[in-house]
Amino acid sequence: MPEAHAAALCRAYETMGLGAFWSSDAQGRLTYASPGLRAMLDDGTPPVGRALLDLFAHDEADGERSLRFTLARRTRFEHLIVHTGSGCERRWWSLSGEAIHDRGVFTGFHGHCTDISQARRKAEETSHLASHDPLTGLANRRHMTQMLARTLTMLAAASRPCATLLIDLDRFKQVNDTLGHAAGDLLLKQVAERLVKLIGDESRVCRLGGDEFQIILPDVEDRGRLGELALSIIADLSQPYMIEGSRCLIGASIGLAIAPFDGTLAEELVRSADLALYAAKGSGRGRYRFFAGDLLRAAEERKTLEEDLHDALARGELALHYQPIVMAQDNRVIGVEALLRWTHPRCGAISPARFIPIAEESNLIRAIGEWVLFRACADAAAWPMPLRVAVNVSPVQFADEHFPVLVATALARSGLDPARLELEITEGVFMQENGATDARFKALKGLGVRLSLDDFGTGYSSLGYLRTAPFDKIKIDQSFVRGATQTGSRNRAIIAAIVALAQALDMETTAEGVESFDQFDLMKALNVSHVQGYIYSVPLDNAAFMQALGGEPWVIQPSGPSRQRHQRQTMFRRVGVVHEDHYYPVMLRNLSMSGALIEGLLEVPVGTAFVLDLGDGQLVVARVRRSRGYQQGLEFEQELVSDGNGGLCTRYRVSRGQLDAAGLSFASGGNGAGSKGADNDGPILIHRAADGPGHAGQSRPAFAMATDWAEVA
């Protein structure tokens, strides 16, 4: 019998798991469900009599038409993707149906369905593997590039910003080399977890490959907020990791770029962030840096400096300056710190923040460090007073197994009492904790020298090594001192905790960078034992230091401003100011977070409002607070923020589109507010459109201008 034969074939088809059969009425309610379908849909309620729309759900992303629309058409349909259940219980189906008509009247569907859950999961897994990193589960480079491109296109239509951060792990290679690649993989997974926890959205974090990660942040352009995030990432990733019972310490460097200012296309923005990352690593690692237009030139200058540094020692361009370290309670000088200075024949004084990282990366630090040690010991031995001399020791120097022998040789040649030599060692020496580190400490203490823990709390702080390392002193970094007197700052509590810890361990404390009396009084109130900074003396070369030496005991009375002021950066750079409809080129002489000193205008009344154009889209609303001759002191309406490299920048920038919308023209940009290496390039040249109101040529300028820059130089 044909019907029986067809029924047997259908049963065999279902038994083999190839599919199931169904039929419905004109309203879409099931009138028949084959045994196989009833078994697959077994949720405690018989399927017959239930609507297809209640049994199956449909994601429109899986097809052009929804299930509701397809059934409403009352025509044949094939392979419509639907699903049942949710989460890990979700099952996927391919649904097909033939419309049935009786004498032209639609009566329902006869259909077929197939469980495609396994194939669907395999396809999703394949898709996920193609777009995600198999080790960390984060998006991979290809997927992040596509997502960034889509995001930038979407945001550009509404002139909205997007920030991207490139993160490179410092000293990760050492973990691979010492503990193996398996340990390195476990470390990368922990790094990924920390990043996701900080950002709060896994889809915004990507592993580019190796030890590089990327983060994209749509609708974020506040460089103050981004700088704080970068510092949080650096601090969090620098905390210790436990890998298979071993304690690992790494760091992180970050480059930041913001669309549309630093690029409108994905590849442009990433290239800008990559240049910023390179600059951050070149500045000493463990830092962040915003992209600026001068980074390409800065990279070239850095290469030149590295070449010149090779010959600086032989040419006598390096020198030591000495800054007194003073007892806080009675102003008695008990020692000095030896500070390295480099006077370049063409560039003049080069900041140690620039050339020390170059020396470390180019392996020049060993020769330079040896010269510093021998020179400081020789100078101190010739002083008429038995002052201590503190010498900074690079982690690269300390890692040398022959370093204790080098110290012993310097002491022997100079005849300096070992108790007068203090070696300042940063927490970086603990990156690879092993028996050799402990042996080095033991050997140095065996010589009789003092050991000081430098920059405590700024990087990889751990109380564990304070328990075993034989330090005599903890130095409190000036970054804590500088903000301690500000309202709402937690630095005061941090300093108090460091002092209490040092006292409990019978160690001295030195606060660095004390410049004002409010800072000085706070350090004394917190029982800091020693103070170092401009409140007592600037660093002096050896000849000037010998002349300044007083009697024994040597007492220096503190002097300086009553309150902390924002740190000023001295410069000589052309910028511009806008007043009403006039643009004036002026010279920027110094810059701080809260104000600036400019030269080039005459007869400017106090209280005059300006817009200061610092270049690169950076406009600052300011008001004249002091005016004398060609000099004006400006106070900013909104404070500048750190650019991550010792310079300053505005929180926000003004794009070409925003200026065009305001009827202003946008010419070439300069370098950014106080970025290191900024030259005298012109700022953004702003003027009203010629046919608009208030064109600069239509009325007399409000202020007289210097006719020759020599007048204000």
- pLDDT tens for residues 290-310? 998 777 777 777 788 888 998
Cβ-proximal residues to 548 (8 Å cutoff; 6+ apart), any chain: 537, 540
318 phi and psi angles, rounded to 5 deg: -90, 145
pLDDT at residue 417 in the model: 96
Q: 454 vs 295, which has greater pLDDT? A: 454
Question: One-letter amino acid identity for 548?
Answer: A
For residue 220, what are its two tokens?
Answer: 């974020």
pLDDT at 196 over 90: yes
Query: Is residue 163 within a helix (H) or strand (E), and if so which, with residue range?
Result: strand 162-170
Q: 607 vs 581, which has greater pLDDT? A: 607
- What kind of architecture, by CATH, is found in domain 132-293? 2-Layer Sandwich (3.30)
Q: 581 vs 664, which has greater pLDDT? A: 581
CA dist., res. 161 & res. 179, Å (int): 42
* pTM given for the model: 0.57
How sure is the predictor about 40, in pLDDT bands with cuts at 50, 70 and 90? confident
Q: Are the CB atoms for 364 and 310 separated by under 8 Å?
A: yes
Among candidates 303, 279, 297, which has minimal Cα distance to 166?
279
pLDDT at residue 685 in the model: 42
In this prediction, residues 249-271 reach a mean pLDDT of 93
pLDDT at residue 697 in the model: 37
pLDDT at residue 583 in the model: 86
pLDDT at residue 53 in the model: 85
CATH superfamily of 2-122: PAS domain (3.30.450.20)
pLDDT at residue 302 in the model: 77
Among candidates 453, 485, 684, 509, which has minimal Cα distance to 583?
684
pLDDT at residue 26 in the model: 92
| Coil, helix or strand at residue 422 | strand
DSSP calls for 141-160: HHHHHHHHHHHHHHHHTTT-
Q: H/E/C letters for each residue in 21-88?
A: EEEECCCCEEEEECHHHHHHCCCCCCCCCCEHHHHCECCHHHCCCCHHHHHHHCCCEEEEEEEECCHH
pLDDT at residue 462 in the model: 56
| Coil, helix or strand at residue 339 | strand
Please give the C-alpha separations between residue 541 and each of 336, 339, 374, 535, in angstroms, as whole numbers. 12, 9, 16, 18
CA dist., res. 424 & res. 126, Å (int): 54
pLDDT at residue 628 in the model: 87
Q: Are the CB atoms for 75 and 108 separated by under 8 Å?
A: no
How sure is the predictor about 622, in pLDDT bands with cuts at 50, 70 and 90? very high
- What kind of architecture, by CATH, is found in domain 313-548? Alpha-Beta Barrel (3.20)
How sure is the predictor about 703, in pLDDT bands with cuts at 50, 70 and 90? low
Q: Minimum mean pLDDT among 77-86, 222-231, 506-515, 624-633: which range?
A: 77-86
In this prediction, residues 147-163 reach a mean pLDDT of 92
CA dist., res. 251 & res. 194, Å (int): 13
Q: Minimum mean pLDDT among 79-83, 160-164, 297-301, 573-577: which range?
A: 297-301
pLDDT at residue 679 in the model: 37
Q: Minimum mean pLDDT among 149-153, 379-383, 462-466, 477-481: which range?
A: 462-466
In this prediction, residues 121-134 reach a mean pLDDT of 75
How are beta strands 348-350 and 421-426 bridged, if at all?
unpaired
Q: H/E/C letters for each residue in 479-535?
A: HHHHHCCCCCCCHHHHHHHHHHHHHHCCCEEEECCCCCHHHHHHHHHCCCCEECCCC
Q: Minimum mean pLDDT among 18-32, 202-216, 460-474: which range?
A: 460-474
* pLDDT tens for each residue of 323-370: 999 999 999 999 999 999 999 998 888 888 788 878 887 778 899 999
Q: 700 vs 686, which has greater pLDDT? A: 700
Q: How many CA atoms lie within 13 A of 169 on its CB side?
A: 28
pLDDT at residue 432 in the model: 53
Report the mean per-residue pLDDT for the chain. Answer: 83
pLDDT at residue 399 in the model: 82
Q: Minimum mean pLDDT among 131-145, 184-198, 614-628, 648-662: which range?
A: 648-662
pLDDT at residue 616 in the model: 81
Cβ-proximal residues to 167 (8 Å cutoff; 6+ apart), any chain: 195, 212, 213, 214, 215, 233, 237, 252, 253, 254, 277
Q: Are the CB atoms for 530 and 328 separated by under 8 Å?
A: yes
Q: Minimum mean pLDDT among 117-131, 305-319, 395-409: which range?
A: 117-131
For residue 301, what are its two tokens?
Answer: 């200058």
pLDDT at residue 696 in the model: 34
The percentage of residues in the chain with a pLDDT greater than 90, rounded to a whole number, is: 44
Among candidates 25, 20, 86, 89, which has minimal Cα distance to 59?
86
For the chain, domain boundaries: 2-122, 132-293, 313-548, 569-711
CA dist., res. 630 & res. 627, Å (int): 8
In this prediction, residues 470-490 reach a mean pLDDT of 86
pLDDT at 414 over 90: yes
**Topology of the domain comprising 569-711:** Thrombin, subunit H (2.40.10)
How are beta strands 530-531 and 318-327 bridged, if at all?
antiparallel
CA dist., res. 109 & res. 98, Å (int): 5
Q: Minimum mean pLDDT among 27-41, 78-92, 516-530: which range?
A: 78-92
Count how many residues are written for the chain.
713
In this prediction, residues 417-439 reach a mean pLDDT of 80
CA dist., res. 433 & res. 189, Å (int): 22
pLDDT at 491 over 60: yes
pLDDT at residue 541 in the model: 94
pLDDT at 134 over 70: yes
How sure is the predictor about 9, in pLDDT bands with cuts at 50, 70 and 90? confident
CA dist., res. 284 & res. 676, Å (int): 14
pLDDT at 375 over 90: yes
In this prediction, residues 577-593 reach a mean pLDDT of 88
* pLDDT tens for each residue of 492-524: 998 999 999 999 989 999 999 999 999 999 999
